[in-house]
Structure 1
Amino acid sequence: MSLFSWLRPASPVVSAALQQRLAKLSVITGPSECSLREQRWVVLDLETTGLNINKDRVLSIGAVAIEDGAIDFSQQFERTLQCRELKLSPSVLIHGLGPNAIAAGSDPAEALVEFMEFVGDSPLLAFHAPFDQHMLGRALKEHLGHKLQHVFLDVADIAPLLCPQANIREAGLDEWIEWFRLEVFERHNASADALATAELALILFSRARAQQIHSPLNLQQRLGQWKRRQQAPSF
Structure 2
Amino acid sequence: MALNWFKKIVKDYPKFWETYLSYFDENQSKEQRFVVFDCETTGLDYKTDRILSIGAVAIKNNQIIVGDFIEVFLQQDIFNPETVTLHGILKEGKEEKVVEAEAIIRFLDFIKDATLVGHHIDFDIEMINQALDRLNVGKLENQAMDTDVMYQKLKSLPQEQQSSLDELCDIYKIKKSDRHTASGDAFITALLFLKLKKKLEI
Q: Which runs of 4+ in 1 moved over 6 A?
A: none
Match of 2:103 among 107, 111, 131: 111
Mind listing any 5+ residue stretches in structure 2 that lack a counterpart? 1-11
Distance 1:150-1:142 versus aligned 2 partners, 3 A rule: same
DSSP-derived class of the 2:142 partner: coil
Q: Kindly report the root-mean-square deviation, in angstroms, between the aligned alpha carbons of the 2 structures.
A: 2.6
Cα deviation digits, residues 11-69 of structure 1 (max 9, x gap): xxxxx9x9223222234389xxx9xxx62100010011100121111111000001111
**Aligned counterparts of 1:29 and 1:159: Cα–Cα separation in 2:** 32
Match of 1:8 in 2: none
Residue aligned with 2:79, SS:
coil
Answer yes or no: is 1:48 the counterpart of 2:41. Answer: yes
- 2:65 corresponds to which of 62, 65, 72: 72
- Give the superposition deviation at 1:70: 0.5
Contact between 1:124 and 1:152, CA under 8 Å: does it hold in 2?
yes
State whether structure 2 residue 5 is matched by structure 1 residue 19: no
Is residue 34–residue 114 contact of structure 2 (8 Å, CA) maintained in 1?
A: yes
Deviations 1:156-201 (A, max 9, x none): 1111211349xx9421000000001112322011000000000000
In the TM superposition, residue 102 of structure 1 has moved relative to its aligned partner by 8.7
* Structure of greater Rg: 1
Query: What are the residue-to-residue correspondences of 1:45-194 with 2, within 5 Å?
Result: 45-83=38-76, 85-101=77-93, 105-143=97-135, 145-164=137-156, 169-194=161-186
* SS of corresponding position for 1:53: coil
Runs of 5+ consecutive residues of structure 1 not aligned to the other structure: 1-15, 215-235
Count how many residue pairs are aligned between Structure 1 and Structure 2.
Answer: 185
The match for 2:197 among 205, 214, 228 is: 205
TM-score under structure 2 length normalisation:
0.82
For 2:107, the aligned partner's letter is F
Cα distance 1:144–1:96, how it changes in 2: closer, same or farther (>3 A)?
farther
Q: Displacement of 1:79 after TM fit?
A: 0.4
* Equivalent-residue separation in structure 2 for 1:29 and 1:175 (angstroms): 39
More strand by share: 2
Deviation at 1:144, TM superposition (A): 5.0
- Aligned AA (2:180): H
Q: Distance in 2 between matches of 1:185 and 1:24?
A: 35
Quickly say closer, same or farther: Cα 1:116–1:101, change in 2 above 3 A.
Answer: same
Deviations 1:182-235 (A, max 9, x none): 1232201100000000000000110111xxxx4xxxxxxxxxxxxxxxxxxxxx
Equivalent position amino acid for 1:28 in 2: F
What is the identity percentage for the equivalent residue pairs of Structure 1 and Structure 2? 32
Give the structure 2 partner of residue 217 of structure 1.
none
CA contact (8 A) 1:82 1:102 kept: no
TM-score by length of 1: 0.71
**Structure-2 residue corresponding to 1:9:** none
Shift of 1:90: 1.9
> What secondary structure does 1:101 align onto?
coil
Cα deviation, residue 92, structure 1? 3.4
Q: 1:81–1:102: 8 Å Cα contact kept in structure 2?
A: no
Provide the rounded CA distance (Å) in 2 between the counterparts of 1:56 and 1:29.
33
